[in-house]
Protein backbone atom coordinates (compact mmCIF):
# COMPACT_ATOMS: atom_id res chain seq x y z
CA UNK A 1 0.00 0.00 0.00
CA UNK A 2 1.25 3.43 -0.91
CA UNK A 3 1.69 6.06 1.76
CA UNK A 4 -0.59 8.44 -0.17
CA UNK A 5 -3.58 9.55 1.89
CA UNK A 6 -6.72 10.91 0.24
CA UNK A 7 -9.59 12.56 2.13
CA UNK A 8 -13.12 12.22 0.81
CA UNK A 9 -14.58 15.47 2.13
CA UNK A 10 -18.34 15.37 2.60
CA UNK A 11 -19.27 18.96 1.82
CA UNK A 12 -22.77 19.24 3.26
CA UNK A 13 -24.08 19.33 6.80
CA UNK A 14 -27.71 19.92 5.88
CA UNK A 15 -30.29 17.68 7.62
CA UNK A 16 -31.39 14.98 5.18
CA UNK A 17 -28.34 15.60 2.99
CA UNK A 18 -27.89 13.37 -0.04
CA UNK A 19 -24.11 13.52 0.20
CA UNK A 20 -23.71 10.74 2.77
CA UNK A 21 -24.62 7.89 0.39
CA UNK A 22 -22.63 9.56 -2.40
CA UNK A 23 -19.50 9.76 -0.22
CA UNK A 24 -20.04 6.17 0.96
CA UNK A 25 -20.28 5.03 -2.66
CA UNK A 26 -17.02 6.85 -3.49
CA UNK A 27 -15.28 5.14 -0.56
CA UNK A 28 -16.65 1.77 -1.66
CA UNK A 29 -15.33 2.32 -5.19
CA UNK A 30 -11.93 3.25 -3.72
CA UNK A 31 -11.80 0.30 -1.32
CA UNK A 32 -9.79 -1.92 -3.67
CA UNK A 33 -7.24 0.74 -4.60
CA UNK A 34 -3.65 0.04 -3.60
CA UNK A 35 -1.90 3.27 -4.62
CA UNK A 36 -3.58 5.31 -1.87
CA UNK A 37 -5.73 5.00 1.22
CA UNK A 38 -9.05 6.84 1.29
CA UNK A 39 -10.78 8.20 4.38
CA UNK A 40 -14.02 10.08 5.00
CA UNK A 41 -13.78 13.60 6.41
CA UNK A 42 -17.30 14.74 7.27
CA UNK A 43 -17.75 18.48 7.76
CA UNK A 44 -20.47 17.63 10.30
CA UNK A 45 -17.62 16.45 12.55
CA UNK A 46 -15.87 19.84 12.26
CA UNK A 47 -18.43 22.49 13.25
CA UNK A 48 -16.66 25.58 11.98
CA UNK A 49 -18.41 28.91 12.54
CA UNK A 50 -18.24 31.49 9.79
CA UNK A 51 -14.56 32.29 9.36
CA UNK A 52 -13.57 33.87 12.65
CA UNK A 53 -9.78 34.09 12.46
CA UNK A 54 -8.43 37.67 12.49
CA UNK A 55 -5.21 36.84 10.61
CA UNK A 56 -5.45 35.64 6.97
CA UNK A 57 -5.10 31.85 6.58
CA UNK A 58 -2.02 32.30 4.38
CA UNK A 59 -0.12 33.34 7.53
CA UNK A 60 -1.00 30.03 9.32
CA UNK A 61 -1.28 31.81 12.67
CA UNK A 62 -4.46 30.27 13.98
CA UNK A 63 -5.96 31.35 17.30
CA UNK A 64 -9.05 29.14 17.59
CA UNK A 65 -9.16 25.51 18.70
CA UNK A 66 -11.59 24.59 15.92
CA UNK A 67 -9.20 26.01 13.33
CA UNK A 68 -6.24 24.16 14.79
CA UNK A 69 -8.17 20.86 14.73
CA UNK A 70 -9.28 21.46 11.12
CA UNK A 71 -5.75 22.41 10.08
CA UNK A 72 -4.28 19.28 11.64
CA UNK A 73 -6.86 17.07 9.93
CA UNK A 74 -6.46 18.56 6.45
CA UNK A 75 -2.66 18.81 6.61
CA UNK A 76 -2.43 15.02 7.02
CA UNK A 77 -3.60 14.31 3.45
CA UNK A 78 -1.92 14.31 0.05
CA UNK A 79 -5.12 14.78 -1.90
CA UNK A 80 -8.83 15.37 -1.61
CA UNK A 81 -12.08 14.37 -3.21
CA UNK A 82 -14.66 17.06 -2.58
CA UNK A 83 -18.20 15.65 -2.51
CA UNK A 84 -20.46 18.64 -3.06
CA UNK A 85 -24.09 19.42 -3.63
CA UNK A 86 -25.01 22.22 -5.96
CA UNK A 87 -26.79 25.03 -4.15
CA UNK A 88 -27.80 28.13 -6.15
CA UNK A 89 -25.35 27.43 -8.99
CA UNK A 90 -22.41 26.93 -6.61
CA UNK A 91 -21.02 24.70 -3.90
CA UNK A 92 -22.41 24.64 -0.36
CA UNK A 93 -21.64 27.51 1.98
CA UNK A 94 -20.31 25.14 4.63
CA UNK A 95 -17.76 23.66 2.21
CA UNK A 96 -16.63 27.07 0.98
CA UNK A 97 -16.25 28.24 4.58
CA UNK A 98 -14.23 25.13 5.53
CA UNK A 99 -11.94 25.60 2.54
CA UNK A 100 -11.44 29.31 3.32
CA UNK A 101 -10.24 28.58 6.87
CA UNK A 102 -6.91 27.23 5.56
CA UNK A 103 -4.33 27.97 2.91
CA UNK A 104 -0.93 26.28 3.21
CA UNK A 105 -2.56 22.98 4.19
CA UNK A 106 -4.06 22.81 0.67
CA UNK A 107 -0.94 23.96 -1.23
CA UNK A 108 0.78 21.62 -3.68
CA UNK A 109 -1.70 18.80 -3.25
CA UNK A 110 -4.27 17.30 -5.62
CA UNK A 111 -8.05 17.40 -5.78
CA UNK A 112 -10.93 15.71 -7.56
CA UNK A 113 -14.63 16.51 -7.50
CA UNK A 114 -17.81 14.51 -7.07
CA UNK A 115 -21.02 16.51 -7.35
CA UNK A 116 -24.75 15.97 -7.32
CA UNK A 117 -27.73 18.11 -8.18
CA UNK A 118 -30.31 18.79 -10.86
CA UNK A 119 -27.58 19.31 -13.47
CA UNK A 120 -25.13 16.91 -11.83
CA UNK A 121 -23.52 19.62 -9.71
CA UNK A 122 -21.55 20.91 -12.71
CA UNK A 123 -21.71 24.55 -11.65
CA UNK A 124 -20.58 23.71 -8.11
CA UNK A 125 -17.52 21.98 -9.55
CA UNK A 126 -16.73 24.92 -11.82
CA UNK A 127 -16.59 27.18 -8.77
CA UNK A 128 -14.48 24.68 -6.83
CA UNK A 129 -11.98 24.52 -9.70
CA UNK A 130 -11.38 28.28 -9.49
CA UNK A 131 -11.09 28.15 -5.70
CA UNK A 132 -8.66 25.22 -5.92
CA UNK A 133 -6.44 27.04 -8.40
CA UNK A 134 -6.12 29.98 -6.01
CA UNK A 135 -5.12 27.57 -3.23
CA UNK A 136 -2.40 25.99 -5.40
CA UNK A 137 -4.41 22.78 -5.32
CA UNK A 138 -3.94 20.82 -8.56
CA UNK A 139 -7.30 19.52 -9.75
CA UNK A 140 -7.76 16.61 -12.11
CA UNK A 141 -9.92 16.59 -15.22
CA UNK A 142 -12.13 13.59 -14.43
CA UNK A 143 -15.08 14.37 -12.21
CA UNK A 144 -18.22 12.52 -11.23
CA UNK A 145 -21.59 14.18 -11.72
CA UNK A 146 -24.74 12.61 -10.32
CA UNK A 147 -28.14 13.84 -11.45
CA UNK A 148 -31.05 14.00 -9.05
CA UNK A 149 -33.20 12.91 -12.01
CA UNK A 150 -31.32 9.77 -13.05
CA UNK A 151 -29.04 8.75 -10.15
CA UNK A 152 -31.52 9.13 -7.29
CA UNK A 153 -34.75 7.16 -7.06
CA UNK A 154 -37.63 9.52 -6.29
CA UNK A 155 -35.04 12.29 -5.94
CA UNK A 156 -33.94 10.84 -2.60
CA UNK A 157 -32.40 7.34 -2.69
CA UNK A 158 -28.95 7.25 -4.27
CA UNK A 159 -28.87 4.66 -7.07
CA UNK A 160 -26.05 5.63 -9.45
CA UNK A 161 -25.99 4.37 -13.00
CA UNK A 162 -23.43 1.62 -13.71
CA UNK A 163 -21.36 3.89 -15.98
CA UNK A 164 -20.17 5.87 -12.95
CA UNK A 165 -18.01 3.03 -11.59
CA UNK A 166 -15.63 3.14 -14.57
CA UNK A 167 -15.49 6.94 -14.41
CA UNK A 168 -14.62 6.72 -10.71
CA UNK A 169 -11.62 4.51 -11.47
CA UNK A 170 -10.36 7.03 -14.02
CA UNK A 171 -10.76 9.78 -11.43
CA UNK A 172 -8.84 7.76 -8.83
CA UNK A 173 -6.05 7.03 -11.34
CA UNK A 174 -5.67 10.72 -12.15
CA UNK A 175 -5.90 11.83 -8.52
CA UNK A 176 -3.37 9.29 -7.28
CA UNK A 177 -0.92 10.22 -10.05
CA UNK A 178 -1.23 13.93 -9.29
CA UNK A 179 -1.13 13.44 -5.51
CA UNK A 180 2.07 11.44 -5.86
CA UNK A 181 3.63 14.02 -8.16
CA UNK A 182 2.65 16.92 -5.90
CA UNK A 183 4.12 15.13 -2.90
CA UNK A 184 7.53 15.39 -4.57
CA UNK A 185 6.99 19.14 -4.88
CA UNK A 186 6.31 19.41 -1.13
CA UNK A 187 9.17 17.06 -0.21
CA UNK A 188 11.91 17.51 -2.79
CA UNK A 189 14.72 15.01 -2.71
CA UNK A 190 17.89 16.21 -1.02
CA UNK A 191 20.64 16.70 -3.60
CA UNK A 192 23.49 14.22 -3.37
CA UNK A 193 26.40 15.76 -1.51
CA UNK A 194 24.28 18.56 -0.08
| In the predicted structure, residue 174 carries a pLDDT above the cut 80 | yes
**CATH: 3.40.50.360, 3.90.1410.10, 3.40.50.2300, 3.40.50.300. Which one for 5-186?**
3.40.50.360
Mean pLDDT of 59-86: 97
* pTM score: 0.94
**Span 66-92, average pLDDT:** 97
pLDDT tens column, 105-142:
999 999 999 999 999 999 999 999 999 999 999 999 99
Taking only the tens place, the pLDDT of each residue in 3-48 is 999 999 999 999 999 999 999 999 999 999 999 999 999 999 999 9
Mean pLDDT of the chain: 95
Beta bridge partners of 11: none
pLDDT at 184 over 70: yes
Q: What pLDDT shows up at residue 114? A: 98
Positive or negative, the CA dihedral 137, 29, 96, 143 is positive
Phi, psi of 128 (to 5 degrees): -65, -30
Rounded Cα distance between 141 and 166, Å, is 15
What is the per-residue pLDDT for 189? 60
Q: Is the pLDDT of residue 188 over 70?
A: no
- Quick one: 110 exposed, middle or buried, by C-beta within 10 A (0-12, 13-18, 19+)? buried
Amino acid sequence: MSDLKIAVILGSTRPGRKGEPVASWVLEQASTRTAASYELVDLADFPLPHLDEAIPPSMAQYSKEHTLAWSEKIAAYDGYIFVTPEYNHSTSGVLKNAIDYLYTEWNNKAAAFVAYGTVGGARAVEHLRGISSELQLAHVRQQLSFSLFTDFENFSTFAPGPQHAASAQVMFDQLEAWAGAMKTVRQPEVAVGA
